[in-house]
Amino acid sequence: MVDRGASALSLPDDWPAHPDPILALNRMGSFDWDLDTGQFRMDARAHEIFDLRPDEYDGDPVSLGVRVPPGEGIRLDEAVAQAIKDGSENYGAYFRLRRRDGTLRWTHTQGYIRRDDTGRPRRIVGIIRDATDELGDLAARDDEPALDDARRAQTNEQTNVVQLTTAALAHARTVQDVIDVLKDTHGLTHLGATSLVMGLVEAGRIRLIAEGPEGSFVPGTLVTRIDEPYPMSEVVRTLTPRFIESPEEFAGGYPMLWSYLTDLEITSAAYLPLIVQARPIGAMGLLYSDRRGFTPEERNILVALGSSIAQSLQRAMFYEQEKDIAQGLQQAMLPRTIPSVPGADVAVRYRAATIGGSLGRDIGGDWYDLIPLPGGRVGAVIGDVQGHDTHAAAVMGQLRIVLRAYAAEGHPPATVMARASVFLHELDTDRFATCLYAEADLSTGVVQMVRAGHIDPLLRAPDGTCRRVSVAGGLPLGLSAEFGSLDYPVATVELDPGHTLLLCTDGLVEQPGADLDDGMRALAAMIAAGPADVRKLADLLIDVAEERGGDDDVALLLLRRRSPDAPQAGNRLQQHVAPGDPEALTMARHMILAAVRAWGSRDRSDEIELVADELITNALMHTEGAAIVTLRALTGGDRRLRVEVEDSSSALPRRREAGVSGVSGRGLLLVDLLADAWGVEARGGGKCVWCEFVVRETRRREGS
């Protein structure tokens, strides 16, 4: 059998909401049964079928007993009661009624159960039609039809197959799942059918999604109009099953179709409309090669199977629509593009969850983000919001934006995490989230990380060895604010050139039957054996996650620091200056003067030395800790010399008026006047004040 994928469908706008014209054209009556009052109202055609004049019927279904034999009435009551009990949306049955002249006529009814918001059945609306011609000589049988033992055993077997198939359909989530259930060797083939043909109504046409056996495709039938002369089109138009009981009947009724089926030795067929809430969503055909004719019991079985399949298809189409919406929402919440980062190679991947055995949507709250920061730094985020639904995706999107905003404001990593936790706690949600935030200075390789209930990152060396980086963490976002524990320890790691940092969610690590530590070791071994290129490594990891499946989504981010020959790299010197240590201060001044001259920037040496001295003095005077002085020569574009002074205070420097005789207050004024650019950046629990000077090469001129 050749199958074609099916997407979520919708009925055409011009399809009638109430199929009265269709009923009239096909000589069908309708009824409306109010289960609260017990009133059973029928239209004029239904009165004709029951052979009752309006003045002979008072709206009480018990009154129909004059036309429905007791045995048939019991069967009908049982069918309706079972449909109500098991939560079905509809039911169908063949039964006989006795007209006023005493003759028995076959009748078919199909009802649609309307329930309220609590699931309680309130109304049944349906159709009824005369089926005597359809069933032929079977109409003359007695009130209790007798089947021979072989026929009865076959009917019982088919009933069991329908029950098993219905149970399997309850677990089908997509349209393709429904098709797979019906193709299963324990499914419709046990009903004796040679093959299955199925189509769904889409924009006033029928689109095939299962074509029957290979080689049986009829050209021009992949998409057909509902008014074309095909059996599936007919059952959709009439809302009535079509049972074809012989090759002669098939050839006479559908000659164009039959010409393509002669080699398949088809002897009979059953075409069923797939109806939900009185509206057709598709049609199904069962083709047989070893039987002729259908008994009323077999027809009832197939009609019941069609009702079950229709309900499953509707659930599948709703699921696929919700899945498309949910995945679209999640993709909108994730970064559309990842910015290029000078000095690093970056790869990100996301894999949606595969939740087996439930109607949950394949969506989660995992996310990644990469945030460019001033001074050649970059922030990397990985996180996981609790839950697998659209609410988790919505919370994830808000958290991602908030984390990006706090990081871009210059807050240190611990503050970024604490503020995000407060935000989530104040949000109108009961969800929490785990998160890991890493802020990397790609010029120095220093990475500062904070962890909120998330799994540790991994670090791969250029030689392929991979290890787990232990990061002391705090509570998940949302919970830390709720319990008043907003402290997030900052861990520091050196990311040397060629090293790769991997951040991921637990969906990449956790496996059934294995603990987290075993999963981390297995992941580290996989990374160690994987390719050095971050994109190829990311593809490998996500492919493994895809093959493994699982009920959790996966997000991962890889950041590899490039080799020192990258364009932005340059010389770097650093000096630690403790408070109250004049010797260290003198050494820092000598380091700056020597470096400026050695790097060919003598013409600006006085300005650089004055500004650097001012920044160091401010750090020692206005903070309680030490100062770290860093001097860098930056290349690429203009040649620049950068001075950084880092301290442990988060208080930002501000300009003050010095006054006529004041001895302080002129520091930032000098920095602003002498430096070509300057600014302040958050660094861990403190800050870094930096300035840059554009310099020109003077070494060669001085040596001439």
| Contact assessment for residue 197 and residue 216, using Cβ atoms and an 8 Å cutoff | no
**What percent of the chain has pLDDT above 70?**
81
The more confidently predicted of residues 440 and 588 is 440
Task: Evaluate if residue 12 carries a pLDDT over 50.
Answer: no
Q: What is the mean pLDDT of residues 282-292?
A: 86
**In this structure, which long-range contacts are made by residues 627-631, counting pairs with CB atoms below 8 Å and at least 24 apart in sequence?**
627/576, 627/577, 628/574, 628/575, 628/576, 628/577, 629/574, 629/575, 629/576, 629/577, 629/588, 629/591, 629/592, 630/444, 630/572, 630/573, 630/574, 631/572, 631/573, 631/574, 631/591, 631/592, 631/595
The more confidently predicted of residues 599 and 701 is 599
| Contact assessment for residue 656 and residue 636, using Cβ atoms and an 8 Å cutoff | no
Q: What is the pLDDT of residues 486-539, one digit of tens each?
A: 989 988 888 889 999 999 999 899 876 678 888 999 999 999 999 999 999 999
Average pLDDT value over all residues in the chain: 80
| Contact assessment for residue 62 and residue 158, using Cβ atoms and an 8 Å cutoff | no
- First CA to last CA distance, the chain: 87
Identify the CA nearest to 275 among candidates 82, 32, 113, 161. Answer: 113
Q: Mean pLDDT: which of 103-107, 132-136, 279-283, 514-518 is highest? A: 279-283
Q: What is the pLDDT of residues 627-637, one digit of tens each?
A: 888 888 776 56
| Contact assessment for residue 259 and residue 270, using Cβ atoms and an 8 Å cutoff | no
Rounded distance, CA 166 to CA 340, Å?
53
Supply the pLDDT for residue 1. 36
**The amino acid at 649:** S
**The amino acid at 157:** E
| Contact assessment for residue 207 and residue 223, using Cβ atoms and an 8 Å cutoff | yes
Q: Mean pLDDT: which of 83-87, 432-436, 512-516 is highest? A: 432-436
Where does the pLDDT of residue 116 fall: very low under 50, low under 70, confident under 90, or very high at 90 and above?
confident
What's the predicted TM-score (pTM) here? 0.51
Angle at 239 (CA atoms; ends 61, 36), nearest 5 degrees: 30
Supply the pLDDT for residue 408. 87
Burial of 463 (0-12, 13-18, 19+ CB in 10 A): exposed
Supply the pLDDT for residue 568. 42
Where does the pLDDT of residue 374 fall: very low under 50, low under 70, confident under 90, or very high at 90 and above?
confident
